């Protein structure tokens, strides 16, 4: 199909649900209407996932994007073989070493414009650590590989969109990290992320850190010291932004259409309501990178991996969204 995008899909942790949700998603006929998908991973592992799922797919190994010849019923794999075996249903050193190679290769392809976007299947942070890598997760790894300083995790669903000021840090450290510049930069990234989704002038809402958004300093001073000045700075720059709002009301307002995207102060503040609404269909987008990257909003799910129980809906939505986003 003329103009259709080529998307690299990293296989994720071989011991998790990544291989299964990939083959299930790519078995959907509609996916060819959105993109030409090429999996970057291990062809042998994916063959095992196809067999497990009982799908009518054939695995075709390719050594470069130029060899791709899209065909219904054929799953093309840029085969990056591992010298070591993988363990199923648990994190492992071998898995951590392997999926970092898949990610590196996909980023290389995206930066060289051989592919138009990347979609990453879930990885295990424990596998990363066991393999000796320093990154706490996908987002930080992608930022380093693309030399990106300003970036954020944005989560997208039909009814709710959120972006995070802080990501993978302990809750006790969040107040120390919240400052005017960080909140202001995240507001800017919220606008950039919303524009990637096609919104011309997004309505951005900022959540408070404390109960009742601090209640004028009675329940915490981070709002007065850092968050309010950031909102005012963004307003002065011409952005349609308001807040901080009490965290216990802001998501309800956004769900009912008052705002387009919420700037959240920490990981679980945004992800708890988001996953309650869109666990099977939500998509994670890394905003600020020089490439388009999406991923399912769930993890490796070792407890159900390799049991033909994984739901591919979030992976399917991540692939669709990657084909639509514009930098």
Do 132 and 257 lie in one domain? The reply is no
Do 66 and 89 lie in one domain? The reply is yes
pLDDT digits (tens, 9 = 90+) for 23-35: 999 999 889 889 9
Cα gap 58→51, rounded to integer Å: 10
Q: What is the pLDDT of residue 84?
A: 74
pLDDT digits (tens, 9 = 90+) for 211-243: 999 888 888 899 999 999 999 999 999 999 999
Split at pLDDT 50, 70, 90, the class of 137 is confident
Parent domain of 73: 1-148+289-327
What CATH number should be reported for the domain holding residue 198? 3.40.718.10
Instruction: Please name the residues in contact with 90: beta carbons below 8 A apart, sequence gap of 6 or more.
Output: 15, 302
Q: Six-digit token pair at 5?
A: 């995008």
Do 129 and 159 lie in one domain? The reply is no
Q: What is the pLDDT of residue 217?
A: 86
DSSP labels for 179-239? Answer: -HHHHHHHHHHHHHHHHHTT-SS--EEEE-SSGGGGTTTTS-SHIIIIIHHHHHHHHHTT-
Do 248 and 263 lie in one domain? The reply is yes
pLDDT digits (tens, 9 = 90+) for 154-176: 999 999 999 999 998 999 999 99
Instruction: Please name the residues in contact with 36: beta carbons below 8 A apart, sequence gap of 6 or more.
Output: 4, 5, 6, 7, 68, 70
pLDDT digits (tens, 9 = 90+) for 46-79: 999 999 999 999 999 999 999 999 888 999 999 9
pLDDT above 90 covers a percentage of the chain that reads: 89
Do 90 and 135 lie in one domain? The reply is yes
Q: What is the pLDDT of residue 1?
A: 46
Q: What is the pLDDT of residue 215?
A: 86
Do 181 and 98 lie in one domain? The reply is no
Do 17 and 29 lie in one domain? The reply is yes
pTM above 0.85, yes or no: yes
Cα gap 150→55, rounded to integer Å: 41
Do 105 and 54 lie in one domain? The reply is yes
| Whether pLDDT at 93 is above 70 | yes
Domain count, the chain: 2
Beta strands 35-41 and 5-10 are parallel
Do 61 and 123 lie in one domain? The reply is yes
Do 59 and 108 lie in one domain? The reply is yes
Cβ contact 291:325 at 8 Å? no
Q: Six-digit token pair at 11?
A: 């296989």
Do 144 and 154 lie in one domain? The reply is no
| Whether pLDDT at 82 is above 90 | no
Q: Where are the beta strands (DSSP E) in the chain?
A: 5-10, 35-41, 58-62, 74-79, 117-120, 152-156, 161-164, 204-207, 241-245, 261-264, 283-287, 293-296
Do 116 and 161 lie in one domain? The reply is no
């Amino acid at each position: 199909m003329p103009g259709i995008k080529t998307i690299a899909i990293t296989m994720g942790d071989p011991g998790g649900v990544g291989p299964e949700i990939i083959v299930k998603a790519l078995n959907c006929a509609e996916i060819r209407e959105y993109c030409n998908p090429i999996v970057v991973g291990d062809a042998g592992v994916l063959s095992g996932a196809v067999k497990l799922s009982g799908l009518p797919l054939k695995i075709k190994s390719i050594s470069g994007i130029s060899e791709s010849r899209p065909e219904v019923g054929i799953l093309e794999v840029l085969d990056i073989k591992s010298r070591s075996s993988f363990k199923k249903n648990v994190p492992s050193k071998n898995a951590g070493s392997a999926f970092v190679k898949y990610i590196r290769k996909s980023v290389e392809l995206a930066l060289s414009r051989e592919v138009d976007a990347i979609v990453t299947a879930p990885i295990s942070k424990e596998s990363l650590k066991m393999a000796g890598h320093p990154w706490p997760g996908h987002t930080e790894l992608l930022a380093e590989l693309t030399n990106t300083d300003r970036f954020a995790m944005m989560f997208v669903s039909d009814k709710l969109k959120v972006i995070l000021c802080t990501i993978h840090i302990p809750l006790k450290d969040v107040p120390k990290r919240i400052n005017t510049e960080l909140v202001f930069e995240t507001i800017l990234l919220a606008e950039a992320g919303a524009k990637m989704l096609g919104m011309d002038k997004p309505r951005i809402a900022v959540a408070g850190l404390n109960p009742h958004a601090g209640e004028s300093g009675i329940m915490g001073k981070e709002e007065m010291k850092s968050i309010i000045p950031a909102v005012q700075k963004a307003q002065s720059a011409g952005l349609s932004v308001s807040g901080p709002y009490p965290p216990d009301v802001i998501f309800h307002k956004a769900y009912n259409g008052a705002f387009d995207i919420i700037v959240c102060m920490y990981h679980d503040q945004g992800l708890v309501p988001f996953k309650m609404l869109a666990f099977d269909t939500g998509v994670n987008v890394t905003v600020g990178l020089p490439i388009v990257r999406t991923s399912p909003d769930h993890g490796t799910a070792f407890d159900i991996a390799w049991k033909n129980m994984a739901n591919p809906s979030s992976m399917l939505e991540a692939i669709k969204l990657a084909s639509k986003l514009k930098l």
